C-alpha cells in the first residue's frame, strides 16, 4: 500500500506498507505528503538489494533499506546485553594535572586585606575612639581554594557503549524485495471532501521510464497552477461577495428590529399617557 493520507487537520501522512508472508508491515518513518490542491505524482522504488526510494513529483523525498525501516525481519545486529564495561575503561576526557604543584604559601594568602587607600579621619581621637584600623577590601592576590588545572586524559576511551553482536534469530531472505505477481490495482478512498481525482497509475521495473512518465505528466504543470490560482481568485471573490451580501442583509434586519422596537416603545408611552388622562377625568379634585 502506497500513497497519501489526508484526514482532517492532523493526518498528513504518506503510507508505505509492505506485505510479507501474508502480513502487512508499515514503514517506521513518519513520511509527510503534499497538502495543496495541485497534481502530485508519488513514486515508490524497491531494488533487488532491498534498498528503496520515495519520490514526490520526480524528486527523491526519502530512502533507506527494508532491513531497517520495516520490522519485516529480525534485525541483523542486536546489543550484547551480557556485555559489561571493563573495570579499566576510562570515560573522563579531562583529569587534574598530576604534575602541577600548589605554590608554597598559597594557603596563607588572606581573602581580605586592609584598604591601602583608606585614611584615618581628621576627627578621629584614639583616646576616645580607640586605635584606628583601615577597612577591609578583597585581596586581589587571593584566587580562592587551590585547584589543579585540567588536562587531556591520555587514557580517555570515550563513553562506553554496549557493543553490537550478530542476532542469532536473524535469517536473511534474498528475495525480500520480490513482489508477488500483480493482477489488480486498488485505490482505497475514505473521502471526507469532494474534488480528489486519481489517475496515471504505473507499475514497472524501470525507474528511468517512470521518471519520463512523470515529466510528461507535468509538462502542463505551470498552466495547471495558473488555472488553479485564477479559479481560487474567482472563488474568493464569490465568497467575499456572498459575505458582503450577508453582512448587508444582517444590517438591514438589525435596522428593522431597531425600528420595530422604537415603534413599540412609542405605542407603550402613548397608551400610558391616555391611561393617566382617563384616571384624572375619573377622579377630579
> Residue 183 pLDDT more than 80?
yes
For the entire predicted model, the pTM comes to 0.61
Other Cβ atoms closer than 10 A to 64: 16
β-bridge pairing 164-166 and 77-79: antiparallel
The residue extents of the domains of the chain are 2-76+171-203, 204-285
- Residue 192's pLDDT band, with cuts at 50, 70 and 90, is low
Considering only the C-alpha atoms of the chain, give the largest distance between any 2 of them, rounded to a whole number of Å.
Answer: 123
Q: Give the HSE-up count for residue 263: Cα atoms under 13 Å, Cβ half-sphere.
A: 6
Of the chain, the end-to-end C-alpha distance in Å amounts to 100
Contact 139, 113 (CB under 8 A): yes
CATH class of 2-76+171-203: mainly beta
pLDDT digits (tens, 9 = 90+) for 41-90: 999 999 999 999 999 998 999 999 999 999 999 999 999 999 999 999 99
pLDDT 10s digits, 147-171: 999 999 999 999 999 999 999 999 9
Q: What are the CA-CA distances from residue 167 to residues 17, 21, 74, 96 (Å)?
A: 25, 21, 8, 42
Cβ atoms of 93 and 152 closer than 8 Å:
yes
Confidence class of residue 259 from pLDDT cuts 50, 70 and 90? Answer: confident
Amino acid at each position: 500500500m502506497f500513497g497519501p493520507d489526508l484526514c482532517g487537520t492532523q493526518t498528513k501522512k504518506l503510507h508505505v506498507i509492505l506485505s510479507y508472508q501474508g502480513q502487512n508491515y508499515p514503514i517506521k518513518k513518519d513520511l509527510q505528503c503534499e497538502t495543496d490542491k495541485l497534481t502530485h505524482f508519488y513514486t515508490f522504488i524497491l531494488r533487488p538489494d532491498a534498498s528503496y526510494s520515495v519520490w514526490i513529483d520526480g524528486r527523491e523525498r526519502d530512502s533507506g533499506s527494508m532491513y531497517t525501516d520495516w520490522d519485516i525481519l529480525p534485525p541483523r545486529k542486536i546489543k550484547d546485553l551480557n556485555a559489561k564495561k571493563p573495570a579499566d575503561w576510562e570515560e573522563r576526557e579531562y583529569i587534574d594535572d598530576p604534575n602541577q604543584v600548589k605554590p608554597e604559601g598559597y594557603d596563607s594568602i588572606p581573602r581580605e586585606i586592609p584598604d591601602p587607600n583608606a585614611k584615618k579621619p581628621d576627627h578621629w581621637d584614639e583616646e576616645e575612639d580607640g586605635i584606628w584600623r583601615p577597612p577591609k577590601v578583597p585581596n586581589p592576590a587571593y584566587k580562592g581554594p587551590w585547584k589543579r588545572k585540567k588536562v587531556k586524559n591520555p587514557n580517555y576511551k570515550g563513553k562506553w557503549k554496549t557493543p553490537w553482536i550478530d542476532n542469532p534469530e536473524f535469517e536473511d531472505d534474498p528475495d525480500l524485495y520480490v513482489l508477488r505477481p500483480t493482477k489488480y490495482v486498488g485505490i482505497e478512498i475514505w473521502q471526507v471532501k469532494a474534488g480528489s481525482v486519481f489517475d496515471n497509475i504505473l507499475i514497472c521495473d524501470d525507474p528511468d521510464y517512470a521518471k519520463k512518465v512523470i515529466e510528461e505528466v507535468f509538462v502542463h504543470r505551470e498552466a495547471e497552477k495558473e488555472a488553479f490560482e485564477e479559479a481560487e481568485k474567482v472563488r474568493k471573490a464569490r465568497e467575499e461577495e456572498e459575505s458582503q451580501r450577508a453582512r448587508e442583509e444582517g444590517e438591514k434586519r438589525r435596522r428593522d428590529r431597531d425600528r420595530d422596537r422604537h415603534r413599540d416603545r412609542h405605542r407603550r408611552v402613548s397608551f400610558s399617557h391616555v391611561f393617566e388622562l382617563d384616571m384624572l377625568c375619573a377622579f377630579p379634585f
